[in-house]
Structure 1
């Protein structure tokens, strides 16, 4: 969905200051399935428990010395966390990737576990590990729940070559469950205590592209206590984005929740941390730093340009949606075009932007931004609602 050219022209005359790849599958390797009696109650348990296998797949993880990964998020953030954004209890997982050694934690094991669904934890030894993915892990649409909990020790890497995680309720290859796929309530995917690095969806224009680390359409997504570093998607294009996360549609139009998480070093045409069309977000106690929107030509693309370059950290487009920031820091991001921190355009002017107890600073917009809102280009319902925050 694109901003109509005449709206942009009018907006700029009043408000301007200054001027992610479907991968081939891989042979499934192994994860350890928890006994059926220990499966966590409630949604998410698969209908058929996978068998336990003992072979060791290639692409073993790499260990690092620290006992845990650096703490993500904004430790000074004081936003309250609603029930919908809290971690899932993973003390009784449906399955575990690894058998206690780094070598047992492989890309193939992750792919197989994600395809099986449910609550997934990792047992890769006492030290943090990086698992380099040789294929994208894809969520099957029949599952009610997918939880990935890395225990603050697991990094999934795309190796700079591929998207890491994919969920799309409108992709028949992952199972067709309803004709109203865009409003499907499940799967409910939770990412907690994980790290994602080197995801790259460049060249994959499925559903418009984007989503270097994670791509989501339909179901629900929440991300808790996790880190995203150096992820990428296509460098040009007027309306694609999300070097870390791209979301299209959420069941019941509920927001994507991001809590206590960090996004750094992302590069994409637009929205080099988060990007969506017509989707709401609630971002709590998080940090966005060093992300760059590198496209050129804005949206719609100016004549002779490929388009893009807006929303250094966050790029949101569509009609009715809300972005809520609370206890969050957005700093040192940049955009070649508009919104060094945030690009927010509600085409029908029903969208709302709420910023509470947050800091936005040093987010240059090389092309344009809204007067009085440093680092932000905003078209929505009235003025943004800002309280207890500093914009500079």
Structure 2
């Protein structure tokens, strides 16, 4: 097998469970803010209800019964593209506009949240016109908590915010814009701040529903320059996480909302979350939301430290992690956020999750798309490390398209067992920084470092240089690999097209074309006449082998359905992710 790059031991030390500070920006100037003496003002109507409206729970969304659904990001045509090519429409994405947040992206998975009932609000901002809706009125109402809606007229409205709204720690707060309200922080301030003292033990909810947040900027505080005599030691900002919202020790629900052009501090080993940053949060659930062009040192869109997260039916595009040097233990370095800390970030273009979640909690990302997210260091789209002990992670019916990182075009996932179902990884690359400069490096697709994986009914298409790389072993069943090989797993019932492997893996009932270095020991060579990647039905793009072709009947013991959710032939199933 090829040698793996050495990654320094990570990250926030377990002692921080008792004294959580890693990744936290503190925001001391805001934590002492008070709402004493505030009252509702012109344009704010008080109602007769608090924020007790509950969201209705849906199903788990964990199966692949998606027959008949249509991919949100792939369309097919009759062009005669080859197996190593992509249909010209495949990578198109619907990013919507600032007024499209009412319904969110396509609902591929059954999310555990529905819209909260806001029909009896505590406060209504505005009196029917855009001019009646002001940031001052919203701040006054939101800092008292409760259910807050808007009456700004029938058309989309942008409300300017000049100051951060400090949410109450003992009252649920629901903001519902009904798809019409954009909050614009003008690049001057963070939108929302919540800080409760009880470590991971506070049920107070913050609900952001059918809202758009733009131009948020987390306050960064003092900058600490790199020491030229100790260049590996940590530098940058200690504070400055969460361009839209910072939550410590509360429950966060985000439903059908949009986050665009927001920023956290861009240098620092722990800071990040261009849109959202949470620490010590017992539950963070995001569904039907879009994250576009957000930036941070780590976690261009979302940063999380010690949380129980779940993400459903959401879209992440053009988010960037712009720090440099990662975040690691470097002996001899002075205390930064903790002793012996090195680097200045750059991990995870989209979603960064560091630290333990509850042992019985599965970190779910279901029905979501990650397109053109970029990281200067580890994980173009995802970064995950629990630091102590192994945790469970599920990628279900997701799409990862054209994400890049210096190491791990899609991900850096450490000490997790990852289950991958009905997911497509396409055109992801490693060895590339956020500016698109070629640096060279392995691990182009899904990289699981010191963890294990089980992959079923998934497609790896033109990831460079590898499609799947696992250091802790695992199994792959009914996958299609085009133009990027897997490493570190056993493979059954799978197709390898335009792939030549230096070292054969273990497995059975596989097919490879054209003839080259065996990807699995004893593999058969025949042409499955694989079609282009496109919309063949189902939630994600797939590549269809020819009916009655070489892939037919090669598999044995296949899953009951294929990547699209269509039934397989129980007596003679095909190799690959899709049953022709």
TM-score of the superposition, structure 1-length normalised? 0.78
1:160 is matched with 187
Q: 2: distance between equivalents of 1:68 and 1:230?
A: 12
Q: What is the CA-CA distance between 1:239 and the residue it aligns to?
A: 1.4
Alignment of 1:1-392 (within 5 A): 5-6=8-9, 22=29, 29-36=41-48, 39=49, 42=52, 69-71=99-101, 75-82=105-112, 85-143=113-171, 145-170=172-197, 181-204=198-221, 208-250=239-281, 253=282, 255-300=283-328, 306-320=343-357, 322-366=362-406, 368-369=407-408, 374-382=409-417, 384-392=418-426
Q: 1: distance between equivalents of 2:128 and 2:273?
A: 34
Unaligned runs of 5+ in 1: 9-19, 45-65, 171-180
Contact 2:214–2:260, Cα closer than 8 Å, also in 1: yes
Q: Which moved more, 1:259-268 or 1:124-133?
A: 124-133
Contact 2:355–2:387, Cα closer than 8 Å, also in 1: yes
Q: 1: distance between equivalents of 2:308 and 2:264?
A: 21
Q: What is the CA-CA distance between 1:352 and the residue it aligns to?
A: 2.3
Q: 1: distance between equivalents of 2:329 and 2:274?
A: 20
2:542 is matched with none
Q: 2: distance between equivalents of 1:6 and 1:95?
A: 49
Q: 1: distance between equivalents of 2:383 and 2:97?
A: 38
Q: What is the CA-CA distance between 1:126 and the residue it aligns to?
A: 1.5
Higher relative contact order (CA 8 A, sep 6+): 1
Q: What is the CA-CA distance between 1:76 and the residue it aligns to?
A: 3.7
Q: 2: distance between equivalents of 1:120 and 1:236?
A: 35
Contact 1:141–1:186, Cα closer than 8 Å, also in 2: no
Q: What is the CA-CA distance between 1:137 and the residue it aligns to?
A: 0.7
TM-score of the superposition, structure 2-length normalised? 0.54
Unaligned runs of 5+ in 2: 1-6, 12-24, 55-95, 223-236, 334-340, 427-580
Cα pair distance change 1:135/1:109, threshold 3 Å:
same
Q: 2: distance between equivalents of 1:307 and 1:273?
A: 17
Q: What is the CA-CA distance between 1:208 and the residue it aligns to?
A: 4.6
Q: What is the CA-CA distance between 1:306 and the residue it aligns to?
A: 5.0
Cα pair distance change 1:348/1:245, threshold 3 Å:
same
Q: What is the CA-CA distance between 1:168 and the residue it aligns to?
A: 0.9
What's the CA shift string for 1:231-280, capped at 9, x where partnerless? 00101011111110000112xx3x31101000000011000111111112
Paired residue secondary structure (1:109): helix
Cα pair distance change 1:330/1:257, threshold 3 Å:
same
Q: What is the CA-CA distance between 1:104 and the residue it aligns to?
A: 1.5
Cα pair distance change 1:6/1:146, threshold 3 Å:
closer
Instruction: Name the one with the larger helix percent.
Output: 1
Cα pair distance change 1:68/1:166, threshold 3 Å:
closer
Cα pair distance change 1:266/1:112, threshold 3 Å:
same
Count residues in correspondence.
333
Q: 2: distance between equivalents of 1:89 and 1:220?
A: 17
Paired residue secondary structure (1:365): strand
1:57 is matched with none
Q: 1: distance between equivalents of 2:399 and 2:53?
A: 38
Q: What is the CA-CA distance between 1:117 and the residue it aligns to?
A: 0.9
Larger Rg, first or second structure (1 or 2): 2
